Chain A
Amino acid sequence: MMLVLLITVLMVGAVAAVVAGEWNRYLPRWIALLASAAGLLLVTLLWANTSPHSVTDGQWLMDFRKEWIPSFGITFHLAVDGLSLLLLALTFFLGVLAVLCSWDEIRERTGFYYFNLLWILAGVAGVFMAMDMFLFYFFWEVMLIPMYFLIGIWGSENRVYAAYKFFIFTQASGLLMFLAILGLYFIHGRDTGIYTFGYFELIETVIPFKTAFWLMSGFMIAFAVKLPVFPFHTWLPDAHGEAPTAGSLILAGLLLKTGAYGMLRFVVPMFPEVVTDVAVPAMVLGVAGIVYGAVMAYSQTDLKRLVAFTSVSHMGFVITGIFALNELALQGVVMQLVTHALSTGALFLMAGMIKERLHTRDIGQMGGLWGPMPQMGTIGLVFAMASLGLPGLGNFVAEFLILLGVFQAQPWITVAAASGLIFSAVYSLRIVGKIFLGPRRTMEAVPDFSFREMLIMAALTVSVVWLGLFPQPVINTARPAITELIRFMDVHSAASHHQSYVK
């Protein structure tokens, strides 16, 4: 029941916000804060109640299932394991921060804004919990449309182009995924006579290799666009650049993670043979993303686009790690999802704060801001260091585990990926240097952090430092899911090999 509550709290809060927005401009943000904070509380309770068992009792921590449209085999099935719990906690944490950072920034149509914000969060939460493919697709689309509105209405100058681009990319790839889901549905139905969209039934389907390849591609294209993987990343800089601050925060912090989650939850267990087959090309694409994103980040003059490209680079690590298919790399991937959300989210927040003060995102007009804003300078430095993977901060643990894991699988690919360490230093220092160091270029008054901003940034800083020094709880929470995934893969790859021998 708690799982449904997580989603309904957000949806109800959203409706309340949009209704309240009709009377009072300031009420919706309080309602939104209340709703997201309530959700955060619920998730914390969930985590506290389940963590002692997570190591021994098996993978799944909580489950909720109800028949929805039985004639099509669609059930309303939500379930949470360590992986989804971590991501849910991240969702609500960033949700609260998103509401807080839009506090003063959004002035028109606030009710509708918070409605969209909370619906996106609900969609993301649903994606992380859905165990029925139709339900999953439903929530996938729920994430999409409010985000389109968010970017298109409250974004910056080029917002309409960016919103369209985001929408078409995600929608088109989502439709291909839906085709793959339908394909899976029909194959399973034809083989077993049971037509169902349920996840636990569908992962047992035995699919001939050729078809499996196409089905996997259908899923992969949706997740590859979302993650984003190298050639499909071009929507990201525009969307991140033009979105309002909270939009960028949610986009970078959560929506990108849904792509990775989809790969871990669906692609790898459902198509283990194909995954092992395409592992090396996928890792190569990942490395291409790492390098390309980093090189691109260097030349950008728009701060948000710069940070967006750093996201592309970091997500390259994620896909390289996923396709290494061993415990070290997969744990690193989980850490990277969590810490990247925090650190890149913080960088976007900072970019938004600077935009509010200087009314520009052009780094050529910034410089020497450490003097008037030492607090922002220090925090900015901390997150730039997180971005380049300084040990002692969370991102290092993630990148180290990923590289260590990938090294066990493909040493040469690791060497190429390690170049990402050098490039990340280059662009991170560029961020710090261009914004905070050097002579002042504009003499506008730039106040340092307000109390609300300090609160947000402090929360993120503490999280990222804590994860850097004490990452073990996160690793332990994700462990059952990861070990189960690897075991599942080994069993099913072996089984299918047997089958092909028998043929």
Chain B
Amino acid sequence: MKTTVSAEVVVLLAGLLFALGIVGVIIRKNIIFMLLSVEIMLNASGLAFVAAGSRWGQPDGQVMFVFILAMAAAEVSIGLALILQIYHQHKSLDIDNLKEMNG
């Protein structure tokens, strides 16, 4: 028997994941973990798009998810490159050390 998951539940899951992602970004001090949390937020929003696409029967949801995937990949590669550079300069991955652009 095919069990269809209702869109509302999936969106709920997406929302929860998003919230988890936000909390992770805010709370975490390690840059890599912040990046991971951002990834979780991105994937959560992608999930929400897929769920909506399935709900309305449109392929647009899947299309948007592919967009998000591509964008996330690009962003992660640049982000990791930046993190490497930061580690090289500050010898630590603590985000509280990066306070120079203040005042």
Direct touching of A and B (C-beta under 8 Å): no
Residues of B within 8 A of A (CB): none
Residues of A within 8 A of B (CB): none
